[in-house]
Amino acid sequence: MVAPHRWRRAPRPDGDRPAACGERHADQQLRAGAGGEPSSRGHCAECRRARLRGADARGRGARPFVSPADRALVDRFCEMLAAEAGAARNTLLAYRRDLEAAGDALSDIGTASPEDLGRLGAAWAELAPATVARRAAALRRFYGFLLDDGLRPDDPSAALPRPITQRPLPRILDEGEVERLFREAELRAQSDEFLAVRNLALLELLYGSGLRATELVSLPRQAMRREQPFMIIKGKGGKERLVPISSRAQDSVRRWLTFVPTDSPWLFPSGKSHLSRVRLFQIIRQMAGLAGIATDRVSPHVLRHAFATHLLGGGADLRVLQALLGHADIATTQIYTHVDSGRLVQLVNSRHPLSDRTR
């Protein structure tokens, strides 16, 4: 009989129950590694099948049929992206999904003619312009690869549809809503229940450091070191950057570390790996609901947007913000200047050379 231990699972907070298949067995390794009674169940058959076929974590349905010849070309293309461009796993999965989805409208992706590609506009008429643009971009790069490697004599991508897209302004929470979110998370963490402590640490790092969801869930256990007010984050394309950590975030993470098994390589372990992006999305939405905020307005990326917008509103330099967010192009960061329109008006009124002239 297993002796009582602080890691014995207490009732979950309201609504905190993994729903995604891949997370159905969440926290098993945590319970087993910390003295709790390990579960005899492994991952279910569906979880194993999903991993084997590289399924999308969001479960977007059945995988499109792709011929063996096309699948081999897509495999070679993804190998090139990984080896030459340093593409991350999620980037490779996204390219693969878009190319295989194109197989639903094309009889043969690798040998499609310009006329075949010209019909994609009609076939994709029901899709959002951003989706069409993304799939066309994937095909454009794919055919460029086939041409460069001598796998086909021409590049038919000029016939691909080019929808007019307008980049939407990022959704954000105002500072009052963020305060409500933290107030509720801190109140629940006072119970010292390990899921509540974990959720507060996740929230502190998301909003306090502006991490991407993948960067956050895959943090190694030793990511935060004593007397070091920053972390080294490996972001998109394997690029590293320094990210500062607030003192309150450090306190929350240290508190969470007392619950993490010492043999875990992850800061936020779950099962045999780390917490998934899907589960993080669920956690953040559940926390928003408990704080009385509409759940469809909140996600991990919305908190990253809030981090950037609130820093910019506080006077942060755009170049500094670009470095903190890990943006390769300053144009990506500039979108936040359009969100904080009040600051732009104040800047013009206070800094323009004619602002003090009276009419």
Domain of 291, CATH number, reads: 1.10.443.10
pLDDT band at 57 (very low <50, low <70, confident <90, very high): very low
| Options 336, 338, 343, 359, the catalytic residue | 336
| pLDDT surpasses 70 at 296 | yes
More confident residue, 122 or 315: 122
Is 33 a domain residue?
no
Burial level of 261, CB count in 10 A (0-12/13-18/19+)? middle
pLDDT band at 236 (very low <50, low <70, confident <90, very high): confident
256: nearest Cα among 300, 183, 195: 195
Residues 126 and 217 in one domain: no
| Options 96, 97, 212, 279, the catalytic residue | 212
More confident residue, 244 or 50: 244
143: nearest Cα among 165, 167, 116: 116
Residues 223 and 340 in one domain: yes
pLDDT, tens digit (0-9, with 9 covering 90-100), for 155-170: 999 999 998 776 666 7
Residues 122 and 191 in one domain: no
pLDDT, tens digit (0-9, with 9 covering 90-100), for 176-196: 999 999 999 999 999 999 999
pTM of the model: 0.61
Reading the block at residue 69, the tokens are: 């010849």
Reported residue count of the chain is: 359
The residue from 159, 191, 212 where one domain ends is 159
131 vs 98: CA distance, rounded Å: 9
| pLDDT surpasses 50 at 22 | no
275 vs 220: CA distance, rounded Å: 12
What's the whole-number average pLDDT of the chain? 79
Taking the CA atoms of 338, 341, 345 and 351 in sequence, report the sign of the dihedral they define.
negative
Reading the block at residue 344, the tokens are: 């732009």
The residue from 129, 159, 189 where one domain ends is 159
| Options 31, 97, 188, 304, the catalytic residue | 304
Mean of the pLDDT values across residues 253-273?
Answer: 93
Supply the range of the domain harboring residue 226: 175-350
| pLDDT surpasses 80 at 47 | no
Residues 115 and 235 in one domain: no
CB 20 within 8 A of CB 279: yes
Q: How far is CA 25 from the centre of its chain?
A: 21
Residues 284 and 194 in one domain: yes
Residues 205 and 117 in one domain: no
| Options 236, 241, 255, 343, the catalytic residue | 236
Q: What is the CATH number of the domain that holds 75?
A: 1.10.150.130
pLDDT band at 199 (very low <50, low <70, confident <90, very high): very high
Known catalytic residue: 301?
yes
Q: Where are the alpha helices (DSSP H) in 164-240?
A: 175-189, 194-209, 213-217
Coil, strand, or helix at residue 333? helix
| Options 301, 310, 351, 359, the catalytic residue | 301
Is 59 a domain residue?
no
Burial level of 275, CB count in 10 A (0-12/13-18/19+)? buried
Residues 191 and 84 in one domain: no
| pLDDT surpasses 90 at 315 | no
Is 14 a domain residue?
no
Residues 338 and 243 in one domain: yes
Known catalytic residue: 51?
no
Residues 195 and 334 in one domain: yes
Coil, strand, or helix at residue 240? strand
Total count of domains within the chain = 2
Residues 196 and 342 in one domain: yes
Q: Give the CA distances from residue 255 to residues 59, 62, 298, in Å, rounded to whole numbers and listed in that order.
A: 34, 42, 25
Is 3 a domain residue?
no
| pLDDT surpasses 50 at 53 | no
Is 56 a domain residue?
no
How crowded is residue 234: how many other Cβ atoms within 10 Å of its Cβ?
Answer: 16
CB within 8 Å of 226: residues ≥ 6 apart: none
Is 194 a domain residue?
yes
pLDDT band at 345 (very low <50, low <70, confident <90, very high): low
Residues 98 and 196 in one domain: no
Is 12 a domain residue?
no
| Options 188, 279, 305, 327, the catalytic residue | 327
Known catalytic residue: 304?
yes
Known catalytic residue: 305?
no
Residues 274 and 148 in one domain: no
The residue from 159, 186, 210 where one domain ends is 159
CB 35 within 8 A of CB 62: no
Known catalytic residue: 212?
yes
Is 62 a domain residue?
no
359 vs 193: CA distance, rounded Å: 63
